[in-house]
Amino acid sequence: MKFNTKTIHGGQHPDPSTGAVMPPIYQTSTYAQSSPGKHQGYEYSRAANPTRTALENNFAAIENGTHGFAFSSGLAAIDCVLKLLNPGDEIITGDDLYGGSYRMFTKLFEKYGLKFHFVNMEDASNVTKYINKNTKLIWLETPTNPLMKIADIEQISKNVKAFDKTILVAVDNTFATPYIQQPLDLGADIVMHSATKYLGGHSDLVMGALMVKNEELAEQIHFIQFAAGAIAGPQDSFLALRGIKTLHLRMQRHSENGLAIANYLASHPKVEKVYYPGLENSKNYMVAKQQMKSFGGMVSFKLKNNSKDATFKVLESFKLFTLAESLGGVESLVNHPETMTHASIPAKEREKIGITTNLIRLSVGIEAIEDLINDLESALG
């Protein structure tokens, strides 16, 4: 099946008991057994639930994987990946990360004996420099949050596997979605999504996802999820499955609007710099063009006036863009990374990579582009 068909039919079948086209919401915790240990594939919903199973089958299909897993949040999914490791293991990750990922790495797992190296992954050789006998995981974001850096998934995967095939390569694919890029096809072992964002697409659920195509790895992930219990509930699973059915249509419009707004901002007299991989003058435009079908709806930019007052005045002046955390919904959102999504990163680290007071991040929705540009023009004054 082509991708647009997979979003609707991938891993899906009518309900066998009723013929329902959409999988029912199985709001149940336990299941009857005909004899001890004899059941119809379900015994307790922490292990599996039919609604969640339908979603997880769809997760696997849209990332060209064999197994999908639905978690209670994106961070719960990342937590599961890190639990594959042992004290003393080392992880190489990007210097520009979602603030929650950075917080989890440094505040939780470092005290459990894991060591993290934060490097600029725009240059694949930076990853290779830090690989040693203790390296067990490469954690990529591409595009990154919020500076939209691009990492070459295929090249990094090849370099890592040439050193040691057992090192896992995991990609946070939240910003791009499988409509735009499919990391498993580029050599990655694990794909992660905050399904709260584009996969759900309607700002009405919190969920994480992992997709793999290795049986042994899938068994390990399932055991950790079952043992730790960070599962998605049936209601949220139903909502996510509904959202994915229009993923391809939404991402087409997100990408069209994102590119139009990036071009508008690039020529605005009050804007110092625009961060968007679809601009031909962006640092890794050619890598992005090679591994991405389009460039998505996430755009960051810096104001020429770098004062807090000027930045907050712009943020408070939007009418259509809503000032809020999160991203990836049908509605447009505006975010201030320094004080919102990336506040958990120490100020010195933020400033070092460019997350400054005058940085604004947009999640461009699917509204009429003329209305969005008018709102930007008004807010920028």
What's the confidence (pLDDT) of residue 17?
A: 85
Instruction: Find out whether 190 and 169 touch, Cβ atoms under 8 Å.
Output: yes
Co-location of 36 and 167 in the same domain: yes
Co-location of 83 and 219 in the same domain: yes
The count of structural domains within the chain is 2
Co-location of 213 and 339 in the same domain: no
Look up the CATH number of the domain holding residue 100: 3.40.640.10
Co-location of 225 and 351 in the same domain: no
Co-location of 252 and 159 in the same domain: no
Q: Which stretches of the chain drop beneath a pLDDT of 70?
A: none
Co-location of 82 and 203 in the same domain: yes
Look up the CATH number of the domain holding residue 343: 3.90.1150.10
Last residue of a domain, one of 243, 263, 298: 243
Structural domain for 12, as ranges? 3-243
Co-location of 211 and 338 in the same domain: no
Last residue of a domain, one of 243, 259, 289: 243
Last residue of a domain, one of 243, 267, 300: 243
Give the long-range contacts of residues 165-170, CB within 8 A, separation 24 or more: 166/136, 167/131, 167/135, 167/136, 167/137, 167/138, 168/81, 168/84, 168/136, 168/137, 168/138, 168/217, 169/137, 169/138, 169/140, 170/81, 170/137, 170/138, 170/139, 170/140
Co-location of 303 and 229 in the same domain: no
Co-location of 140 and 226 in the same domain: yes
Co-location of 135 and 263 in the same domain: no
What's the confidence (pLDDT) of residue 16?
A: 87
Co-location of 166 and 269 in the same domain: no
Annotated catalytic residues are 46, 98, 172, 197
- pTM higher than the cut 0.85: yes
Co-location of 25 and 170 in the same domain: yes
